[in-house]
Structure 1
């Protein structure tokens, strides 16, 4: 089966919108610059989109940070390379999502609550929000999606611990 043809950016520009939904609601929407769309994977770049800084304990996201975000139309995750304003790599934040949908320069993904953090040096690989995933009730509502989500988290963790995420992004 061949990959679908890439959707062109709206009005011939390189500016897209990224829309992250959760439980049927828009969680965040922000502008991003299209870097690449090969039909299967879409890569965009965007500054930290939330107001102010957010300290997770293992990493701090703040104004000036730049996210190079990789989304797939056929995979259940997104991988976001995070760099500080000085260009230093902070690490990779991975969201477990349904496959991306792209239409008219808008990239939409549904957040499925599971996340993975991989530090820049690869020494910290942290599974996040598994409690939120359980509480979401996805396993009861859509067992196939819940299975795909947990398999995607396992795949990313395995890759992070063995080969590193950069092999996925090459």
Structure 2
């Protein structure tokens, strides 16, 4: 962040718009509710916001799915727990991003095209979209950010293998599924 001050945490129960910046594609925006914010780790809950159901082959996102999304103001990733309408955990979808920031009531996250999936049974870990990351040209435009993005994907894979993200999804922050 370029700010010399740290913005106040968002209030649990308040509405927020999540804006995923997806250069050069259009941004994705959707409504969410803040369930916790300790000033660094921000948690929101949102229904599946896609225009249609989406089958990725390893998971299907459907109407009624609920995402508990964990963002950090000091980490280069987000972790989204995905639950079916009946409450069953489908898994965790992780985005490699620049650290999250809040601008005028909007949670802004710049997606860097690398993703990771951890299945609900913790048996399947998939590194996703590495081809999109290479095609994005980030390594040429901003080599330092590209290096941080690769490190973040490695960190996510390590955390998924070690404890399924339990060590980073703060149990004291409301919204932990």
Unaligned runs of 5+ in 1: none
Aligned residues, how many?
166
Q: Is the 8 A contact 2:13 2:35 kept in 1?
A: no
Q: Is the 8 A contact 2:83 2:90 kept in 1?
A: yes
Taking a change above 3 Å as real, the CA distance of residues 135 and 24 of structure 1, as seen in their structure-2 partners, is closer
Taking structure 1 as the reference length, the TM-score comes to 0.92
Could you list the structure 1 runs, at least 4 aligned residues long, displaced by more than 4 angstroms after superposition.
none
Show CA shifts across 1:11-61 (max 9, x none).
x96100000011155421000000011100110000000122100000000
Q: Is the 8 A contact 1:7 1:102 kept in 2?
A: no
Q: Which has the higher strand share?
A: 1
Q: Is the 8 A contact 1:40 1:74 kept in 2?
A: yes
Q: Is the 8 A contact 2:118 2:164 kept in 1?
A: no
- Where does residue 83 of structure 2 map in the other structure? 83
Taking a change above 3 Å as real, the CA distance of residues 37 and 144 of structure 1, as seen in their structure-2 partners, is same
- Where does residue 37 of structure 2 map in the other structure? 37
- Where does residue 125 of structure 1 map in the other structure? 125
Taking structure 2 as the reference length, the TM-score comes to 0.89
Unaligned runs of 5+ in 2: 171-177
- Where does residue 116 of structure 2 map in the other structure? 116
Equivalent residues in 2 for 1:1-170, closer than 5 Å: 4-8=6-10, 14-23=14-23, 26-170=26-170
Q: CA deviation at 1:5?
A: 4.7
